[in-house]
Amino acid sequence: MSRRRTGRSADRVLLVLADLGLLAFTGWSAWRQIHTGSPILPTIAAALAVYLAGFAGARWLIGGRR
């Protein structure tokens, strides 16, 4: 039973790390675009779409194992 619980914990840790990495990349990309004068709205919209799709997919994968 502890092995199953550890698997779920590992999934959640990987999900959190992936979320933090995506948020850090989005922040860096937005900062870079602000300082170069590029339009930022398309980048934020694309990052939000990828983030939401990734989050929904990860929740589906974690929930689908039960």
Angle at 9 between CA 28 and CA 49, to 5 degrees: 35
Residue 23 near residue 15, CB atoms below 8 Å = no
Question: How much is the pLDDT for 11?
Answer: 74
Question: How much is the pLDDT for 58?
Answer: 72
Question: How much is the pLDDT for 64?
Answer: 63
Which one-letter DSSP state was computed for residue 65? T
| Residues whose CB is less than 8 angstroms from the CB of residue 23 and which lie 6 or more positions away in sequence, other chains included | 51
Question: How much is the pLDDT for 3?
Answer: 52
Find the length of the chain: 66
Q: Which residues of the chain have pLDDT under 70?
A: 1-8, 64-66
